[in-house]
């Protein structure tokens, strides 16, 4: 378990990357959701000892994440960053052997561990390929294997499905679910579908602040009676609605323009009829993230 208390990261220009965040990350897969610049990467940098916070406390499995404990914390955490640096001329197997050696993996256990990870990540048949020959999805799987080479208690992954095709995205998500059965996995993403397919619980960050922490089901329930749809006849009507409300979906059909939106109350646009619809996680996320805007309307 990871305990985060009153965590603040303030940069020299006064901007807060994180602002008094309190959070408990349990076992299993825990989602971290937010737009770019919300504070997700800042939080992961603190957890992985790449960044020292301005204030606050982080406890990883009863160990305080402070500089004198960084070596101990690093041994407990595996990290897959969004931008993964790889030696292009090393093969997949050579890469894992190199990382295992750097990480101090027992030489007697190393071969068995590498064989296991190659099989689990479906890379066995590609083990002799050089990294520069790999697809984006294969590189992510190599990165995941690297992060797991020390059998960490906690796995932190940053946008692991970005830029991947649908089949590879599903493969990565399924791997995270499998590896999350016996460890904590912090899964950071701005792709709502990825979290909906893997997590029961999540945190939403916005401008460095926590705006939600709980189950996905409860978040969706919060959006009940705040999601609407309507059929529009022209782009002019669409622009009128868009000026006042947050659009979450738009689709053209023979009948017109079918749109979906979130609103604190029943939308009020002259000549347009709106119907309640059942919220999705994406609707709920947009509704929660837009709450400040609703207060201004």
Domain that holds residue 240: 223-296
Q: How many independent structural domains does the chain possess?
A: 2
The whole-angstrom separation of Cα 85 and Cα 76 is 21
* Residue 264 and residue 201 share a domain: no
* Residue 65 and residue 187 share a domain: yes
In sequence order, what are the beta bridge partners of 141? none
pLDDT at residue 297 in the model: 33
Domain end call among 215, 245, 278: 215
Beta strand 28-33 with 184-189 is parallel
* Residue 136 and residue 263 share a domain: no
* Residue 209 and residue 100 share a domain: yes
Tens digits of residue pLDDT in 163-189: 888 998 999 999 999 888 888 999 998
pLDDT at residue 292 in the model: 55
* Residue 73 and residue 51 share a domain: yes
* Residue 170 and residue 243 share a domain: no
* Residue 205 and residue 124 share a domain: yes
Domain end call among 199, 215, 231: 215
Indicate which CATH number applies to the domain containing 241: 3.30.70
pLDDT at residue 295 in the model: 41
Total count of residues recorded for the chain:
297
Domain end call among 175, 194, 215: 215
* pTM > 0.85: yes
* Residue 44 and residue 96 share a domain: yes
pLDDT at residue 70 in the model: 93
* Residue 186 and residue 97 share a domain: yes
Cβ 222 vs Cβ 288: under 8 Å: yes
Instruction: Please provide the DSSP assignment of 194-258 as one string.
Output: HHHTT-SEEEEEETTEEEEEEEHHHHHHHTTT-EEEEEESSHHHHHHHHHHSEEEEEEEETTEEE
Indicate which CATH number applies to the domain containing 40: 3.40.50.300
Please tell me what DSSP assigns to residue 264. Answer: S
Q: Distances from the Cα of 143 to the Cαs of 54, 128, 164, in angstroms?
A: 30, 16, 14
pLDDT at residue 293 in the model: 53
* Residue 261 and residue 137 share a domain: no
* Residue 161 and residue 32 share a domain: yes
- Describe the crossing of helices 136-147 and 166-179 by its angle, rounded to 10 degrees: 10
* Residue 230 and residue 203 share a domain: no
Split the chain (297 residues) into runs of 10 and give each run's mean pLDDT.
95 94 93 92 94 95 92 92 90 96 90 94 94 92 94 92 88 90 90 91 95 96 96 94 94 95 93 95 94 48
């Amino acid at each position: 378990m990871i305990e985060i208390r009153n965590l603040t990261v303030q940069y020299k220009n006064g901007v807060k990357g994180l602002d008094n965040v309190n959070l408990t990350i349990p076992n299993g897969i825990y989602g971290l959701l937010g737009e770019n610049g919300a504070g997700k990467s800042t939080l992961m940098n603190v957890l992985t000892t790449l960044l020292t916070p301005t204030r606050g406390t982080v406890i990883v499995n009863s160990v305080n994440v402070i500089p004198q404990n960084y070596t101990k914390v690093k041994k407990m955490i595996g990290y897959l960053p969004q931008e993964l640096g790889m030696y292009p001329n090393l093969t997949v197997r050579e890469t894992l052997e190199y990382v295992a050696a750097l990480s101090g993996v027992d030489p007697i256990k190393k071969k068995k561990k590498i064989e296991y990870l190659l099989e689990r990540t479906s890379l066995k048949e590609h083990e002799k390929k050089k990294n520069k020959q790999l697809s984006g999805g294969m590189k992510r799987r190599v990165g995941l294997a690297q992060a797991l080479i020390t059998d960490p208690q906690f796995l932190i992954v940053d946008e692991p499905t970005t830029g991947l095709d649908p089949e590879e995205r599903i493969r990565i998500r399924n791997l995270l679910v499998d590896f999350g059965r016996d460890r904590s996995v912090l899964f950071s993403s701005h792709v709502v579908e990825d979290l909906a397919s893997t997590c029961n619980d999540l945190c939403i960050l916005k401008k460095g602040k926590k705006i939600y922490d709980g189950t996905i089901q409860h978040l969706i329930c919060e959006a009940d009676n705040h999601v609407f749809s309507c059929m529009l006849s022209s782009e002019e009507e669409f622009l009128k609605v868009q000026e006042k409300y947050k659009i979450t979906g738009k689709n053209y059909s023979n009948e017109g323009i079918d749109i979906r939106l979130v609103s604190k109350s029943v939308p009020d646009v002259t000549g347009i009829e709106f119907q309640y619809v059942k919220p999705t996680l994406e609707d709920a996320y947009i509704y929660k993230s837009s709450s400040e805007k609703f207060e201004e309307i």
